[in-house]
A and B are shown apart, each in its own frame.
Chain A
Amino acid sequence: QKEVEQNSGPLSVPEGAIASLNCTYSDRGSQSFFWYRQYSGKSPELIMSIYSNGDKEDGRFTAQLNKASQYVSLLIRDSQPSDSATYLCAVIGGGTSYGKLTFGQGTILTVHP
């Protein structure tokens, strides 16, 4: 079982739609969760962080965390073509994993006009 697993892609949505990206993790002691956006050939860029159960909203982005289900999601409302990128879920595990980001394999999102 992979430590961090993202829903298989690629994901294609029309402009203006909601894009939903999902991630599960195996370390129940994990405390910190992140979503990064990575454009082709570029480095990851942090777009959301979440540490508590529930929803966290920032502009068009909403991160959702459910520690009981070991599940993290990212919703992108009013998707734009500029949102087309690979989205990486990353987790900092508990115990000695502190400070180490474990990434999922990424989900490629394409927003078509």
Chain B
Amino acid sequence: DAGVTQSPTHLIKTRGQQVTLRCSPKSGHDTVSWYQQALGQGPQFIFQYYEEEERQRGNFPDRFSGHQFPNYSSELNVNALLLGDSALYLCASSSGTAIGYTFGSGTRLTVV
């Protein structure tokens, strides 16, 4: 039973560039949430996708955008990268309104 899969695992980008991170949810899950975790901090909620729509959004600028595909997989896009965007980006999946989140192993983004 495949868990949540994220790609890539590590990424180095230059300030001003754009990045796309990908997430495949756990089998049977249809909801995907994205979190940003800076070093030494707890994860911060970016947004959540359900039925290909953004259902909730955290306090992140419009540079952060996402998408969910019909197969429930999701992408997180970040434009105009800043040094402060360097973090571990976590994807968590769940099933509809059920409460039970499974986290992927994350993508470590470094902006130089």
**Residue-by-residue, is A24-61 near B (CB-CB < 8 Å gives 1, otherwise 0)?**
00000000100000000011111001000000000000
| Residue on A nearest B90 in the bound complex, by CB | A43
Size bracket of the B interface: 20 to 34
Q: Could you tell me the distance in whole angstroms from the C-beta of B66 to the nearest C-beta in chain A?
A: 14
Choose one: A4, A32, A44, A104; the contact of B103 (CB below 8 Å): A44
Given A99-B48, A102-B45, A32:B99 Cβ within 8 A: yes
> In whole angstroms, what is the CA distance A111 to B106 when docked?
26
The A-B contact count (CB < 8 A) is 56
Contact residues, B61-112 vs A (CB, 8 A): 88, 90, 92, 94, 97, 99-106
B31 within 8 A of A: yes
B16 within 8 A of A: no
Q: Are A42 and B42 in contact (CB under 8 A)?
A: no
> In whole angstroms, what is the CA distance A92 to B106 when docked?
21
> In whole angstroms, what is the CA distance A106 to B31 when docked?
25
| Residue on B nearest A49 in the bound complex, by CB | B99
> In whole angstroms, what is the CA distance A45 to B102 when docked?
8
Instruction: Report A-chain residues with C-beta under 8 Å of the C-beta of B90.
Output: 43-44
Q: Are B41 and A105 in contact (CB under 8 A)?
A: yes
Instruction: Report A-chain residues with C-beta under 8 Å of the C-beta of B24.
Output: none
B residues engaging A (CB < 8 A)?
A: 31, 33, 35, 40-45, 48, 55-56, 58, 88, 90, 92, 94, 97, 99-106
